[in-house]
Amino acid sequence: MAASHQSHYPTPPAAALKEAYIGKNLHDIAAPAAIVDQAIVKRNCSQMLRACEALDCSFRPHVKTHKVLYGIPAPPSTIQRLAQLGKRLQPGSVGVLVDHPDQLRHLDVFKQITGYRLQLYIKIDTGYHRAGVTHGSLQFSQLVSRMLPEGGELPYTEFCGLYSHAGHSYGRSSADEAMDLLIEEIRNLQLASAHIRKLYPTRVHKSMVLSVGATPTATSIQNMSQDCADYGSQPQLRLGQADMLGQYMHDIKANHDRLEIHAGVYPFLDLQQLATHASPSALTQSPRPTISTHDIAMTILAQVASMYDGRDRREALIATGSLALGREPCQSYEGWGIVSDWNMTLQPNNRGSCWQVGRISQEHGILNRHPSSLNSLPELSVGQKLRIFPNHACIAGAHFGWYLVVDSDSPEERRDEIVDVWVRCWGW
């Protein structure tokens, strides 16, 4: 049996962290630090759940940022660790993705350890080409044949359904495009489901879960709800997209299957999500129909270490580099984070800080003017604390053992007060 190294990744002590931070002000803590606004998280989560309820589908949240379905086809060495987790949970609580028949022979150890069968989802490639098998291909047929032998299922697994991830939706820039990809995901999973039932009509005796989504495609369904239509979001969707989605929903139910939407970064959002323009703001009084920085729950606290006014253009140094912000690009600009207007003195009518993280290395970030900004740059000073919107919240958040929680729904004088500490799970 392979040794697990999970015990070598101890979880930070939550009680000690809460005692150290709760009640402190953001201005008084060391940077870098990951800050989460729980009021924004609640709004974003509520909007996602309302949209799924309106569509009459299930929702599966990912937990990588903030079900236990292992998010990629599981390497054999992970199965024992999943089984140890499964021993602490109830039957039906742990599942894995598969996209190759050889993966199946490594899964029996799960039942040996837990005493119950491991849930399986076939990962379907719907165009992203990162992981997954194309429905109707030889590899797909071989996988299904091995999963569903004559007489039923494998004794150590339970076939639950099909799963896809439209990661290529991060490269789109409208709700219309995101909805097109969501519809394409659903269509491909429906075809895969029909293919399985046609190949093995006597071996599938229950409904399949058709699980689709990435945050841009999943949140695009929010544009269909009435509260979003009242604020002008729904016209972003082409005439007929809602009807097409409704027809697919009807067909899924007619086949006794069940549609499930999944997403990961939707509670926090980030600059990559803003660039997709896929979802409406959760703010009921939002001045614009799509999400803005007012909907981003995670920021990275940084501190100005030096100023360089004598360079070709004004720049500043922050002691916050790729080990805090990540190095994920964003399609809407060429920087590595955008500085919020928190703790800034802005000129009248100026919107935003105009500063971006224009260059980055391991420990250093260089601030300069965001290229689309026409306003004057606010003054910065050595020692000044800043909050930076990350390009990708999942990557930025993974650099921190815990998140410091604030609440923008608090009275104004307490909005920078830390009200909680959320400890991350970590390790591999």
Q: Give the pLDDT confidence score for residue 290 in this predicted structure.
A: 80
Mean pLDDT to the nearest integer, 260-265: 91
Mutual angle of helices 175-199 and 241-254, in 10-degree steps: 20
pLDDT above 50 for 56: yes
Q: What is the pTM of this model?
A: 0.90
Listed ranges 83-92, 279-288, 399-408; the one with the highest mean pLDDT: 399-408
- Short-list 422, 416, 294, CA closest to 28: 416
pLDDT category of residue 377 using cuts at 50, 70 and 90: confident
Q: Give the pLDDT confidence score for residue 5 in this predicted structure.
A: 59
The whole-angstrom separation of Cα 419 and Cα 410 is 10
Q: Give the pLDDT confidence score for residue 212 in this predicted structure.
A: 94
Mean pLDDT to the nearest integer, 172-198: 90
> Mean pLDDT across the chain, nearest whole number?
88
pLDDT category of residue 167 using cuts at 50, 70 and 90: confident
Mean pLDDT to the nearest integer, 147-168: 90
**Per DSSP, which regions of 39-142 are E strands?**
58-61, 68-69, 94-98, 118-123
| Residue 238: Cβ within 10 Å count | 14
pLDDT above 70 for 2: no
Specify the higher pLDDT residue, 285 or 343. 343
Cα–Cα distances (Å) from 418 to 21, 29, 198, 328, 405, in that order, read 7, 10, 57, 28, 5
For residue range 208-218, list pLDDT tens digits in order: 999 999 888 88
pLDDT category of residue 6 using cuts at 50, 70 and 90: low
- Starting at the edge strand found earlier in the chain, the sheet holding 209-212 runs 58-61, 258-263, 209-212, 157-163, 118-123, 94-98, 68-69
Q: Give the pLDDT confidence score for residue 68 in this predicted structure.
A: 65
pLDDT category of residue 414 using cuts at 50, 70 and 90: very high
Listed ranges 2-11, 168-177, 233-242; the one with the highest mean pLDDT: 168-177
With beta carbons less than 8 A apart as the criterion, state whether 35 and 387 touch. Answer: yes
pLDDT above 80 for 63: no
- Is there a cis peptide before residue 371, judged by omega within 30 degrees of 0? no
- Short-list 86, 117, 221, 52, CA closest to 60: 52
340: three-class secondary structure by DSSP: coil
Q: Give the pLDDT confidence score for residue 10 in this predicted structure.
A: 80
pLDDT category of residue 64 using cuts at 50, 70 and 90: low
Q: Give the pLDDT confidence score for residue 250 in this predicted structure.
A: 86
8: three-class secondary structure by DSSP: helix
Mean pLDDT to the nearest integer, 333-338: 95
pLDDT above 90 for 222: no
For residue range 227-244, list pLDDT tens digits in order: 554 444 444 456 678 788
For residue range 342-362, list pLDDT tens digits in order: 999 887 777 778 999 999 999
Q: Give the pLDDT confidence score for residue 65 in this predicted structure.
A: 43
Q: Give the pLDDT confidence score for residue 171 in this predicted structure.
A: 84
With beta carbons less than 8 A apart as the criterion, state whether 215 and 275 touch. Answer: no
Specify the higher pLDDT residue, 380 or 372. 380
